[in-house]
Amino acid sequence: MQDLYEEPFSAGKYKDDFLGFESGLSVDKKQLLSLSISTAPYVTMYREDIMKANGFPYEPAEFGKFIENPDNLIKIAKKLKENNKYIFSYPTDLTDVVGNSLGYFDDKLDYVRYGNLFEKSLDIMMQSSKNGWLLDENFWGEGGKTALKEDKLAMCFYGSYIMGTLERYVPEQKGKWRITTPPLGLASWASDSRAAINIQSDHKEEAWKLIEYIVTQKNKGGVDYTNTIPSYKPYINFEKNLNKKLQFYGDQNVYPIIKKLAENTKYFKLTPMDHKALEIYRNSVWTVMKQKSKPDEAVDKMKKILKRN
């Protein structure tokens, strides 16, 4: 990728104008390899009616506060299981949220997905696997769609970009779902759309003009955002987005929640090793679900596997 710090691009002038600017830096922080167009933090999507029927807090702000406590997540999982309902689909549901609040590597390329909170999330997932609190269906597959339609999956944690996907899956459940903050009080980066220039391009100056237009001018008149947040800070506070209500989510005003999460998210540098690290991390979580390892032992195993690879 072309270093956008160089002339004639001089993109360093935008350093303070973008959410996630640092995520476009090279590993050594000496080059700027991409700019973020829009970003999506993790959110919690949950069935308000099911939480209410089971005696749990159900209004978004109150429910978001409730699931900051890991013990409350366990309470919900246990209670809903009695009626064949679930809040976890896969063993990595909760560890993904925690892991994406940390990234994969620090500036020295040492693995960073560990610590008390990560181990707690892994412990909850291990308990869920042991006690049958996992749906064991992929949200993106037919099993996940069926579980949603049959009212079995009552909560999920994904990037805000899938809010529209959920509506397409179960349009008949309009008004029953709500959006709140991720569990454990986290603000985690799920994904974003990025613009970069191939270093072999013969039209770099033209490419830069297009990128600069897309990220700083294209939406100048007020773009319509629902499931993501514009990364260019001057576009974040358009009134029509801040006041928008979504019928599927019970006429909830969702954008301010996503905005606050995006502004508080840690945007980590992307590295060429992330894809391999993700594969090893997820395979390791699935493996420890079948073993009787303690969470800290499981994390140590992950770190050793990563070092070998």
pLDDT tens-digit profile, the chain (309 residues) = 999 999 999 999 999 999 999 999 998 889 999 999 999 999 999 999 999 999 999 999 999 999 999 999 999 999 999 999 999 999 999 999 999 999 998 888 888 888 899 999 999 999 999 999 999 888 888 999 999 999 999 999 999 999 999 999 999 999 999 999 999 999 999 999 999 999 999 999 999 999 999 888 776 666 778 899 999 999 899 888 889 999 999 999 999 999 999 999 999 988 888 888 888 888 888 888 877 677 777 778 777 777 776
- AA letter at 239: E
Answer yes or no: are the C-beta atoms of 78 and 70 closer than 8 Å.
no
Structure token digits, residue 138: 């992929």
Answer yes or no: are the C-beta atoms of 168 and 179 closer than 8 Å.
no
User: Angle formed by the axes of helices 295-308 and 274-289, to 10°?
Assistant: 140
pLDDT of residue 302: 73
Rounded CA-CA distance 223/233 in Å is: 13
Beta bridge partners of 25: 32
Please spell the DSSP secondary structure of 137-169, one letter per residue: --TTSHHHHHHHHTT-B-EEEEEGGGHHHHHHH
pLDDT of residue 195: 94
Among 263, 219, 208, 174, which residue's Cα sits nearest to residue 13?
208
pLDDT of residue 16: 95
pLDDT of residue 219: 66
Among 146, 144, 168, which residue's Cα sits nearest to residue 156?
144
Answer yes or no: are the C-beta atoms of 4 and 204 closer than 8 Å.
no
Domains of the chain by residue range:
12-39+190-247, 41-189+274-308
Rounded CA-CA distance 7/113 in Å is: 37
For residues 14, 17, 21, 24, the Cα torsion angle rounded to the nearest 10 degrees is: -40
Structure token digits, residue 169: 């899956």
Among 193, 140, 160, which residue's Cα sits nearest to residue 43?
160
Rounded CA-CA distance 260/160 in Å is: 12
Beta bridge partners of 39: 192, 229
Judge residue 67's burial from the number of C-beta atoms within 10 Å of its C-beta, 0-12 exposed, 13-18 middle, 19 or more buried. buried
**What contacts 15, CB < 8 A, 6 or more positions away?**
21
Structure token digits, residue 12: 């360093």
Judge residue 59's burial from the number of C-beta atoms within 10 Å of its C-beta, 0-12 exposed, 13-18 middle, 19 or more buried. middle
Check the CA dihedral 256-258-259-260 and report its sign.
positive
Topology of the domain comprising 41-189+274-308: D-Maltodextrin-Binding Protein; domain 2 (3.40.190)
